[in-house]
Amino acid sequence: MGPLTVHFYALFILLGIVVALKIGAGRYRAAGGLSSELFDLAIYVIPAGIIGGRLYHVITTPELYFGDQSTQGSHGDFANAFKIWEGGMGIWGAVALGVLTAFVFYRKRPRSVDFATALDALAPGILVAQAIGRLGNWFNAELFGGPTTVPWALSIPSNKRPGGYESFSTFHPTFLYESLWCLLVALILVKAPLIKVLKPGSIFLAYVASYSLGRIWIEALRIDSAHHIFGIRLNDWVASISLIISLLFIWRRQLYADYKSD
């Protein structure tokens, strides 16, 4: 638009943030909190989430930003690390740095609700934000799965197809699968009766566990380049570890709460 370039990937991330705040504010008030606290928190957590997400991507794919430009063409250019509109946001980094920032925010002075309750209030909105943000991958023609001819197959331009797949034209839209999975998990976290009896903080942990479970099978479908450890994609390792740790913490919180009640 004249001198202005509109990046749909970035727009979908911003739209997701707005929706997450809207959902989170309602749940935060229902939990007894003040909306003003949530918006104060957002000033710190949103930039932290974006920075954390980008840092995870850069750290796990360093060859794209620190390699030898003379042999990798456009790769290896550190300036590209700041071009978030071109894709490359790791949800693990975004959640980790965002949660750490929120923890510091709640430690500074007393709030109307505790830290664990705040995380529970925000979890479904974060999932919806992820679902919306993932649709931005469609505009970048990225993060798709193997070749397929199913009715919902994704058409990929020839210049976007990875090596070895040049003869295929349609692929699994794995970003869409992840988006739908996030919406399903968000609905479960809001509506499932079992979720409502979990101790504070467990809803957020259930979000981490459920998302990680979905990411494991979605990651297995993807064909984009990735680092492997013992033949398994790095993100599958991260998802598996996150799943185990979050389930252990849910079990520990329930067990400790039951022990105290006795």
Note the pLDDT tens digit of each residue in 115-128.
999 999 999 999 99
Q: Which pLDDT score, from 0 to 100, does residue 9 have?
A: 84
Give the pair of three-digit tokens for residue 7. 């990046």
Tokens 């979890």 found at? 123
Domains of the chain, by residue range, sit at 8-261
Q: 186 versus 55: which is more confidently predicted?
A: 186
In this predicted structure, what is the pLDDT of residue 72? 44
Q: Once rounded to an integer, what is the mean pLDDT over residues 34-52?
A: 91
pLDDT at 164 over 80: yes
Quick check: 255 pLDDT over 80? Answer: no
Q: What is the mean pLDDT of residues 37-47?
A: 92
- Is residue 38 within 8 A of residue 21, CB to CB? The reply is yes
Q: What is the pLDDT of residues 138-150, one digit of tens each?
A: 988 888 999 999 9
Q: Is residue 219 pLDDT above 80, yes or no?
A: yes
Segment 53-79 mean pLDDT: 68
User: What mean pLDDT is reported for the chain?
Assistant: 87
pLDDT at 153 (0 to 100): 94
d(CA 188, CA 210): 10
pLDDT confidence of residue 101: 95
Res. 61 pLDDT band, cuts 50 70 90: confident
CA distances from 125 to 18, 44, 141, 185 (A): 10, 17, 25, 11
pLDDT at position 262 = 43
The pLDDT of residue 257: 54
- What pLDDT does 259 receive? 43
Q: What is the rounded average pLDDT of the residues 84-113?
A: 86
C-alpha span between 226 and 228 (Å, rounded): 6
Contact indicator for 239, 219 with CB cutoff of 8 Å: yes
Cα dihedral sign, 46-103-60-154 = negative
At a CB cut-off of 8 Å and minimum separation 6, what does 22 contact?
125
pLDDT of residue 18 exceeding 60: yes
More confident residue, 3 or 259: 3
